[in-house]
Structure 1
Amino acid sequence: MVEIAVVNVGDTIWTIANRYGVSAEDIMNINELTEDLSLVPGQALVIPSNSRQFYQYYERRSNIFRNRIETNAYIRAEEQNAVNLVYKYAPYLTYFSVSSYRALANGEISALDDTAVVNAIKQTTAKPILVITNFTGEEFSPEITRELFTNEVARDNFIENLLAIMIEKNYFGVNIDFEENYPEDRELYNEFLRTITPRLKENGFLVSTAIAPKISPSQPVAWFGGLDHDYAAHGEIVDFVILMAYDIGGWFSGPPQAVSPVPTVREVLNYSTSVIPNDKIILGLPLYGYDWQLPFDPDVDFAETIGPREAVNRARQQGANIEYDFNAEAPFFTYYDEGGNEHIVWFEDARSMKAKLDLVNEYDLRGVSYFVLGRNFPENWALLSKMFSIEKYNN
C-alpha cells in the first residue's frame, strides 16, 4: 500500500500528518525533510503507514505478496562521495554498475580508479558490475567499436584485458554500454556478443548490455541511435538488458518536456517485450530532470541538469507552484530568473516514479535500473522499498 500526498497551498507537514493520521516526524524521515523548509504547492510526498504496529504487519505480509525484482544503479567511480553513496543506497540495490571503463580501438582498456568504490560495495549486500563503454570522454565512438567488431587481434586483446580487470577487482558481472555504433554494424555487434559472452560466463561473470530505446526495429526514440542494437539478439545472448528509457522526451539539447514520459516508455516496452523475454528486461529510469531557458534553441542552448530535490528547492526559491502533466505523468514548473528570462523545469517526483515503477509490475519485468546516483531523491527509494522486495545474491 503506497500513499502519495500532493501539497496544497497553505499545507504544512503537520496539517498533512493530521490529514493522513501519521506523525509529522515519520513524514519528515521518509521524505528527508526538515522543519525549517516550507513545503511547495504541488510537491509530492510519500506517506508512511499510519501506525508502527500496522507498518510491521504490512511489511511481513507484503514480503509475501510484493514482486521480487533486481535493482541496479549506475555510480560514477571517481565521484567524490561515491563511497558514501554506496553505503546509503546498498539496501535498495542488487547491483551497482560502476561507471566506467573505456574501450580503445586496439583492445586496450583505459584505467579507472574504482578501488575505493568497489571495495565499499563488497562490504554491502549489493554486487559490483563493471561498465565498459566506447565513450571517448567527449562522445561515443563508432570507430572504436567497429575495430573491436572486425579486428580479431583487437577483439581478443579486449576480451583478455576485460577478464583480467574483472578477475583482479572481483567484479560480479559486466554491463557492455556500446552506443551510437554504425547501424550497418548491428550484426557485427551481435557476433561480438556471441564471442565475448561465453568467455565471460565460463569465468562466472554475469553479462548485460545497455540498449537504446526503440518502438520498432527501425524507429529509435528521440536523439538515440539504437539501430545498431538488435533487441532480439541481445535478449537471446546476454543474461539481461538495461533498457535506457530516459531522455526519450526532453533532453539537455532537446525539446523542453518530460524526460521519461510514461506513454513513450510504454511504447518502448510494448516493442521490447515482443522480442525480448520480460524476465531479461531491466527498465532504466532517470534520477534527474532539466531546467530549460525559454525560448529554447537546440542549436545553441543546453538545458541544466537538475535533481528532483534540487528542482523542488528551486521552485520554493522562485515562489513557483509545481504542476503535473497527467498524460506524461511528470511534474513541471516555470519561473523567471533575475535577468527576466523564462525557464521551465521538468523533473521526477513520487507520482511520476510510481507511474513508471507500476510498469515493472504490469509488464512483469526483471527489475529497474537508475541513472545516475548523486542527486537526492528520497521519495524514490521510499517507493521502491514499499512496492518491491529487492533480490540479493548470497555472498
Structure 2
Amino acid sequence: MRKISFLLLFTFIITTFAVFMPKVEAATFKVQITSSKLAIRSGPSTKNKIVGYYTKGQVVDILGQAGVFYKTSKGYIHSGYTKKIQVVQNTISRGAQFVPFKVEITASKLTIRSTASTLSKALGYYLKGQTVDVLGQAGVFYKTNKGYIHSAYTKRIQLMPNVNNTGKYIVIKEDTPIYKSINGAADERYAVKGKTYRILEDKGDYYKIRQGALEGYVPVQNTEIINYIPKEKITLAWHYVYDKSKNERYYNTKYAESKYITKSSVDIGFDVISPTWFDMIGSAGDLNSINVLDKGDEKYVKIAHRNGYEVWALLAEFDADRAYAMFTNKTVMNRVINQVVNYALKYNLDGINIDFEGLGLKNKDGLINFTRELTNKLKAANPLIKVSIDVTKPSSSDTWSRFYDRKALADIVDYMMFMAYDEHYQTSTVAGSVGSLPWVEQGIKEILALGVSKDKLILGVPFYLRDFTVKMGENKVISSRVLSMQQAVDIIKQFGGNIYFDDVAMQDVGEYFDAEGNRHLVWLENAKSMGYRLNLINKYDLKGMAAWQLNFETQDIWDVVKQKLK
C-alpha cells in the first residue's frame, strides 16, 4: 500500500511540475532579427544571464520554443524581436529542404515583386552586378529577403567552400556598430557606409577590423569583399577649439560649425579629426603651476566616433622656458605625461598629436625624451593609440627648426606631420605664397633625406591664405592678414580685382586695390592648388594629409581629397 501511495505521489509531483515549467517545443525554422541588438540568454526568461547578442538583420535557426522565447544554438531569444522567414519549397523537388545560395543580377534593373508572379506588386529593384542571397524558389522565381525575382535574369555564383577572407579588404554596406567581441557589447565607434577596412581575422559571421584605438568585429552581412586594395592614406584635419565651452557648437546641429562630426566621415572626405584640446599652462618660475589645460568634451568624441571619425587630440606648447622647466624636472614631466594619458583614456581618444613649436636648441634633447616617455605610457595604456608630432621644414633657424631631431622623433612616434606652410608668414617683408609648390616639395625631399620613413610622413596643407598689403610697384609688405578661401574670392570680386596664375608657385594670385587705394596680393588656396599639393603625397608615397584648419576651406576641396587620396 505504501509503495502504491508513493508511486501516486511521485506521479502527481511530476505531472504538476511539468504544468508549471516552460515547455520547450521542438521547432526547426529560421527567423530574422528585427532589433538593433537582441540579447541571447542562458534560459527562457529575461531574468536569465545574457550570454551574447544577435544584431539586426541576422538570420537565425530556431531549434525549439519555450513560451515567448525561441531556443537557438547559442541560447534563448525573445520571439517578439524577430520575424519568421517563410521558406518556399523548391517546386522541382517538393518536400526537400531548400539550401540557400547566391546569385548575381544580370539585368540592368531587375524588379522585386511581392509574390512569385509577374502580376504581383513591384516592391523595388536590384541593379546589375548586385549579389543577392536566394532563400527559396517557387517555379521560375527566386525568393530573396526583399521579395521575389525572376531567375532568368540572374547568374548563380559558385562559392568556394570554407574560404577564409583574412587579409582581404571590405567595404561597409550600411552603418554598423563595431563590437568589442563577437556577440559582445558594442563600442561607441561605428564602421560607416562606404568606408573600407582590411580584414584582420575572419571569424565566420564576423570580421575583425581596426578602427582607431579599437580592434573589434562587424557582421559579415553588413560588408562586401572588394577586389582592389584601397590607398589607405590618412586624411586628418585640425579643429581649432579655443575654449572648452565652445565644443557644443561643433556637434549641436543648430550651429553652422556642426557641419563636420555630425556627418559621415566618408561623405565629408576625411577620417581623422584633431581638436586643439590640450594646452600647456603655468610658468617656468613656478613648477607646481605647470600642467595640462583640458578643453576636451566626451560628447564630441562619441558623436565623432558614431560617424566614423578617429579623434587625435592636439597637445600644444609654444613657451620655450616653460618647456625647458618641464623637460628638466622628472616630477613635473611625469605629472604632465600622466595627465595626458588620463585624458586620452577619459575621452576614449584614438591618438595624441604633439604640437611643440618655437622651443629653441636648448629643448632639443628634452623634446626627444618627453616624446619617448609620453609615447611609451600611451602605448602601455592602449597599444592602438596613435602618437604623432608636428615639425617644420628644415632650416637654419634654431628657434623654429633645428631643435627638431626629425629622425630621432620619427623613430619614436607613429607619424610625423610636416607643416608645409608659412613660407611667407605674418611678419614677412616680401609677399608670397603660404607654401609654394617647389618649397613644399623641397621640404619633403629634405625630411626624407634625414631618414624619416615615407610610411610615417604626413604632408600638412593650408586651408588658409594671407592677404598682403604691399607698396605700389613692388612686393614689399606693409601688413598682412589671414583669410579663408571663400573670403579671398569674395574680397577680390568686391573690389573688382583680377586673378592670374603664378607658374612657379603653381597657384592663382589675386590682385586688387582697396577703398583707400592700397594694393593687395593674395596667393589663393583653392581646388587647383590643393590638387598639386596632394599629387606630391602620391608622388612620394607619403602616408597622408593633415590640414590646418577646418572652416577655412571651400566645399570643393573635399572633392579633390576624395579624388586624390581615396
> TM-score scaled by structure 2?
0.53
Q: 1:117-128 alignment to 2 at 5 Å?
A: 117-128=300-311
Shift of 1:302: 4.1
Contact 1:97 1:131 in 2 (8 A): yes
Q: Does 1:365 align with 2:516?
A: no
Please name the residue that 2:354 is paired with.
Answer: 176
CA distance in 2, matches of 1:299, 1:154: 45
Please name the residue that 1:197 is paired with.
Answer: 375
Q: 1:121 to 1:224 in 2, by over 3 A?
A: farther
CA distance in 1, matches of 2:323, 2:373: 14
Q: 2:468 aligns with which of 284, 292, 299?
A: 292
Secondary structure, aligned partner of 2:459: strand
Q: Does 1:67 align with 2:231?
A: yes
CA distance in 2, matches of 1:165, 1:152: 20
Q: Which runs of 5+ in 1 are unaligned?
A: 1-61, 135-139, 390-395
Please name the residue that 1:354 is paired with.
Answer: 531
CA offsets 1:55-78 (integer angstroms, 9 cap, x no match): xxxxxxx99476330110000234
- Which amino acid in structure 1 is aligned with residue 532 of structure 2? A
CA offsets 1:123-160 (integer angstroms, 9 cap, x no match): 211111111111xxxxx200121122110000010111
Secondary structure, aligned partner of 2:377: helix
Q: 1:376 aligns with which of 544, 553, 560?
A: 553
Shift of 1:330: 1.4
Please name the residue that 1:244 is paired with.
Answer: 419
- Which amino acid in structure 1 is aligned with residue 562 of structure 2? S
CA distance in 1, matches of 2:227, 2:478: 47
Contact 1:293 1:303 in 2 (8 A): yes
Shift of 1:262: 0.7
Please name the residue that 1:210 is paired with.
Answer: 390
Q: 1:206-355 alignment to 2 at 5 Å?
A: 206-214=386-394, 219-220=396-397, 225-248=400-423, 250-254=424-428, 255-274=430-449, 275-295=451-471, 302-355=479-532
Q: Does 1:160 align with 2:334?
A: no
Shift of 1:385: 0.7
Shift of 1:86: 2.4
Secondary structure, aligned partner of 1:181: coil
CA offsets 1:206-237 (integer angstroms, 9 cap, x no match): 111111111xxx535xx971211111011101
CA distance in 2, matches of 1:71, 1:168: 24
- Which amino acid in structure 2 is aligned with residue 120 of structure 1? I
Q: 1:336 to 1:65 in 2, by over 3 A?
A: farther
Contact 2:324 2:362 in 1 (8 A): no
* Identical pairs, percent: 24
Shift of 1:89: 7.5
Contact 2:431 2:476 in 1 (8 A): no
Contact 1:180 1:225 in 2 (8 A): yes
Please name the residue that 1:34 is paired with.
Answer: none
Contact 2:360 2:399 in 1 (8 A): no
Q: Does 1:130 align with 2:313?
A: yes
Contact 2:471 2:477 in 1 (8 A): no
- Which amino acid in structure 2 is aligned with residue 176 of structure 1? I
Shift of 1:323: 1.1
Please name the residue that 1:22 is paired with.
Answer: none
Shift of 1:281: 0.5
CA offsets 1:235-270 (integer angstroms, 9 cap, x no match): 10100011100112x222213101110111111111
CA offsets 1:88-112 (integer angstroms, 9 cap, x no match): 5733222111113112354411131
CA distance in 1, matches of 2:468, 2:277: 28
Contact 1:76 1:82 in 2 (8 A): no
Contact 1:66 1:388 in 2 (8 A): no
Q: 1:282 to 1:171 in 2, by over 3 A?
A: same
Please name the residue that 2:130 is paired with.
Answer: none
Please name the residue that 1:21 is paired with.
Answer: none
Contact 1:253 1:301 in 2 (8 A): no
Contact 2:392 2:401 in 1 (8 A): yes
CA distance in 2, matches of 1:378, 1:189: 37
CA distance in 2, matches of 1:324, 1:387: 22
Please name the residue that 2:43 is paired with.
Answer: none
The CA RMSD over aligned residues, in Å, is 2.6
Larger Rg over CA atoms: 2
CA distance in 1, matches of 2:547, 2:342: 27
Runs (4+) off by over 2 Å = 62-68, 77-83, 85-91, 104-107, 113-120, 295-302
Secondary structure, aligned partner of 1:71: strand
The structure showing larger relative contact order (alpha-carbon pairs under 8 Å, at least 6 residues apart) is 1
Which structure features the higher share of strand residues?
A: 2
Which has the larger displacement, 159-168 or 188-197?
Answer: 188-197
Contact 2:264 2:308 in 1 (8 A): no
Shift of 1:365: 0.2
Shift of 1:119: 3.2
Contact 1:253 1:298 in 2 (8 A): no
Q: Which runs of 5+ in 2 are unaligned?
A: 1-225, 252-257
Which structure features the higher share of helix residues?
A: 1
> TM-score scaled by structure 1?
0.75
CA distance in 2, matches of 1:149, 1:88: 40
Q: 1:89 to 1:318 in 2, by over 3 A?
A: farther
Contact 2:392 2:400 in 1 (8 A): yes
Secondary structure, aligned partner of 2:274: strand
CA offsets 1:290-320 (integer angstroms, 9 cap, x no match): 1111229999954121111221122222222
> How many residues align structurally?
318
